[in-house]
């Protein structure tokens, strides 16, 4: 079995909002500036963090999620990255042990050293106790080091460093600084393309981390390809897929696009906000995003609405996920109570809610097999259409209906298609 060695770190924390993304981005930017080729992955079903990490590293960022992708697919992605990278960084999800499959599970399975990010703003020696607990709660983990975040002074940092258990490196600290804090909104971080000063923030974060500690790397880890050698068919040769991509529709897995291209499809990207019409295409992909933030722009673009409406009404393949599904409805009302008519090809209304309406990993059984994904939305819908099946949480949680009308497939689910050629054929082939 072909193996390749490469230094790697999985960046995790006790909880969300500890600073994982900022620290991962700072490390990616710093080591990239030193001339290293850095490949970054994001654990869990997230679209916003990868946008920032791509900007920091200058390279595409892919998911690494055991439940959604499977072990072999994760192993293949890591082995491919190790062939070209000088350093692999993996940003964890939530807290170290949180989730149906956790960051700890990935670190243990692939023998990847951990770098913990701990908010030290309101503690001193308890910092070490918390790190000790995270490192020893479950066996089989290698906690290489820790970065202290939101530190008040150099003296404060010394207290935190001196409290660490033996064998765990202090890999620096990030001071409290609003200039490097990444802004957020209701679905998470603000999109990278919407931050005109993002490069300055990333440069400053890298500089702050480099000037407040030793940027240590662990010994190289070994990455090997899975025993199974999965290949993709070329069943989408000659098929053109129009993919919505702009500030309103940007939540899509890179793996999905990569597999469609590997199967022979030609992808043509367009903006429902600013383009006058969609490209000529055999199929249409409307991913999730923030249609509620661009409601007037989408509703006012009548020529685009007409073009997409004509495509769907001609019964051409159309896949709509979350925000893409809202775009298909008769209308959407934002949180200020402002409503606009939209496509009207899926009968129903959507309303933005003040709190989270759906969250969790999901799977659905189609005639060709199971497809997995996740849901995360602040809207509710009243849709007057037949529900063909439901996407279910593996343990608990609210199921999400899946609507199929002719060649239209719509749901709140963000589907992971990175190893699902059967789904790609069923949903996109004319």
Six-digit token string for 82? 């190790």
Distance CA 252, CA 255 (A): 9
Q: Chain centroid to CA 419: how far?
A: 16
Q: How many helices (H) and strands (E) does the chain have?
A: 13, 27
Cβ neighbors of 262 (< 8 A, separation 6 or more) are 232
Question: Quick check: 40 and 28 in contact, CB under 8 A?
Answer: yes
**What amino acid positions are annotated as catalytic residues?**
322
Angle 198-211/20-33 helices, nearest 10 degrees?
80
Six-digit token string for 212? 């407040």
3 state SS of 217: coil
Query: Phi and psi at residue 93, in whole multiples of 5°?
Result: -125, 140
Question: Quick check: 73 and 121 in contact, CB under 8 A?
Answer: no
Distance CA 232, CA 73 (A): 13
Quickly list DSSP for 133-156: HHHHSSSS--EEEEEEEEE--HHH
3 state SS of 351: strand
3 state SS of 187: coil
Distance CA 69, CA 65 (A): 6
Name the strands in the sheet holding 358-366, side by side, starting at the edge strand that comes first in the sequence. 358-366, 369-377, 414-415
Cβ neighbors of 174 (< 8 A, separation 6 or more) are 19, 22, 23, 26, 147, 148, 149, 150, 151, 180, 205, 208, 209, 212
Q: For residue 119, what are the β-bridge partners? A: 149
Cβ neighbors of 83 (< 8 A, separation 6 or more) are 4
Q: Of 420, 428, 334, 419, give the one whose Cα is nearest residue 76.
A: 419
- Beta strand pairing call for 169-175 and 184-185: unpaired
């Amino acid at each position: 079995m072909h193996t390749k060695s490469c230094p790697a770190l999985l960046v995790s924390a006790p909880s969300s909002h500890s600073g994982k993304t900022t620290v991962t981005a700072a490390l990616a930017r710093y080591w990239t500036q030193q001339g290293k080729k850095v490949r970054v992955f994001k654990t869990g079903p997230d679209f916003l963090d990868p946008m920032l990490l791509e900007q920091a590293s200058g390279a595409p960022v892919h998911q690494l999620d055991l439940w959604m992708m499977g072990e072999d697919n994760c192993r293949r992605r890591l082995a491919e990255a190790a062939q070209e990278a000088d350093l692999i960084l993996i940003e964890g999800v939530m807290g170290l042990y949180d989730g149906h499959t956790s960051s700890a599970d990935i670190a243990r399975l692939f023998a990847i050293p951990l770098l913990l990010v701990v908010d030290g703003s309101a503690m001193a020696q308890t910092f070490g106790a918390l790190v000790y607990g995270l490192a020893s709660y479950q066996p089989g983990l290698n906690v290489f080091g820790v970065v202290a975040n939101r530190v008040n002074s150099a003296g404060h940092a010394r207290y935190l460093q001196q409290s660490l258990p033996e064998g765990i490196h202090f890999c620096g600290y990030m001071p409290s600084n609003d200039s490097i804090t990444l802004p957020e909104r209701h679905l998470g971080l603000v999109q990278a393309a919407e931050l005109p000063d993002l490069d300055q923030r990333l440069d400053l974060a890298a500089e702050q981390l480099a000037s407040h500690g030793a940027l240590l790397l662990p010994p190289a880890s070994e990455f090997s390809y899975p025993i199974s050698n999965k290949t993709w068919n070329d069943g989408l040769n000659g098929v053109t897929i129009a993919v919505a991509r702009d500030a309103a529709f940007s939540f899509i897995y890179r793996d999905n696009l990569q597999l469609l291209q590997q199967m022979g499809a030609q992808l043509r990207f367009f903006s429902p906000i600013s383009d006058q019409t969609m490209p000529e295409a055999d199929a249409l992909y409307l991913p999730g995003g923030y249609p509620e933030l661009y409601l007037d722009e989408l509703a006012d673009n009548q020529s685009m609405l007409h073009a997409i409406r004509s495509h769907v009404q001609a019964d051409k393949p159309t896949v709509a996920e979350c925000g893409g599904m809202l775009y298909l409805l008769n209308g959407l009302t934002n949180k200020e109570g402002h409503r606009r008519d939209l496509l009207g090809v899926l009968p129903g209304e959507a309303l933005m809610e003040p709190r989270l309406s759906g969250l969790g990993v999901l799977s659905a059984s189609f005639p060709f097999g199971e497809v997995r994904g996740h849901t995360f939305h602040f809207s509710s819908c009243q849709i007057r259409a037949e529900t063909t099946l439901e996407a279910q949480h593996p343990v608990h949680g609210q199921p999400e209906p899946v609507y199929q009308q002719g060649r239209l497939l719509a749901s709140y689910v963000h589907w992971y298609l990175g190893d699902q050629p059967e789904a790609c054929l069923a949903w996109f082939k004319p």
